[in-house]
Amino acid sequence: MSETVEPRAVNVAILKGGVGKSTISVNLAERLAARGHDVLFVDLEPNGHASVGLGFEEQYQDEGSDDLGDVILDEGKADPQDIIFDTDFGFDILPSTKRLETIEKLVESSNFADVRVRNHVVDPLLGTDYDFIITDPPAYRGKITNNAHVATQNLIVPLTSGGGSVEGFQRMMERQVTPLRNQIGLDILAIVPNRINSRIDHHNNDRKLIERLNQDFPQHLPEFARVDFEEIDNGEHNGDLPKPGIRKDDTISKAYTERKTLAAHDPENEQLERFDELAEIVENGEVTNER
């Protein structure tokens, strides 16, 4: 355990699929581990995308062994350590399982349904076994997603341009984040524009997203997403245009097909600096203006 940081659980979430949520979760966990921390990645997505991408397809498909339901449901007799595995990338994983949708239905009928993951997974492990716990919940509203919010109380939100990503963020704020803030407190650590590809000096969907985030949520934007658009539009960038956000990069997809993290597949990839900045935000518990 690291003695220089405050243990923290973080939920990477939005009510919209296809925004790279699992990719950010996995590579954030890897970067935190690379910085010397004990890290657990908890895959709460029923599709098991991250678990399979890290090489845990056998555990995902296995319906005979203990899984999350055996830990968080009343009839379960397993401890979280029983369903946690080492990865080859410096962090541990509690993998998803094909039974997760069934588990969610059983959680719905349980007492204290929204605190199951907190009581049986995060609280027993955070600060003792792990410095940081990163959760990757479903991209829809439900008891598992609620559990992830309640268990972590810290949020990283990935957004892409177009395709309803911002609207999904607004829905999550209205339906989940704001109500939970009123009851337990829930902090947004960072909003992360992801899969950005276009030039920032052209009026396209990528620019609209970055411009809107810089205007409406500057306190939650990592340094790699901040842009002075007045400078851009006045031609004061001297031809060196910023490339904000986590960029669209086929290498990330190739890493998935090789069942690796980005750093393991391409340790010189320039996007790793941005995941390192996200890791630093998690360490600090907020976006800071000084790095």
Report the chain (291 residues): mean pLDDT per 10 consecutive residues.
83 86 96 98 96 96 94 93 98 97 94 95 98 96 93 93 75 75 80 90 86 88 92 77 91 93 97 97 87 44
Domain borders along the chain are 8-284
Say what the pLDDT of residue 161 is: 86
- Can you tell me the distance from the alpha carbon of 119 to that of 179, in angstroms, rounded to the nearest whole number? 20
Strands 92-94, 85-86: pairing kind: antiparallel
Beta bridge pairs of residue 75: none
Say what the pLDDT of residue 291 is: 44
Contact indicator for 23, 245 with CB cutoff of 8 Å: no
8-284: CATH, from 3.40.50.300, 3.30.565.10, 3.20.20.70, 2.40.37.10: 3.40.50.300
Burial of 259 (0-12, 13-18, 19+ CB in 10 A): middle
Say what the pLDDT of residue 2 is: 59
Say what the pLDDT of residue 290 is: 53
Torsion of CA 139, 99, 26, 34, to 10 degrees: 150
- For the record, the structure tokens of 8 come out as 């923290």
The neighbour count for residue 46, using CB atoms within 10 Å, is 21
- Can you tell me the distance from the alpha carbon of 76 to that of 104, in angstroms, rounded to the nearest whole number? 14
Say what the pLDDT of residue 231 is: 85
CA angle 126, 17, 227 (to 5 degrees): 80
pTM above 0.85, yes or no: yes
Q: What is the enclosing helix (H) or strand (E) of 250?
A: helix 250-257
Say what the pLDDT of residue 288 is: 84
Minimal CA–CA distance to 108: which of 69, 70, 77?
A: 69
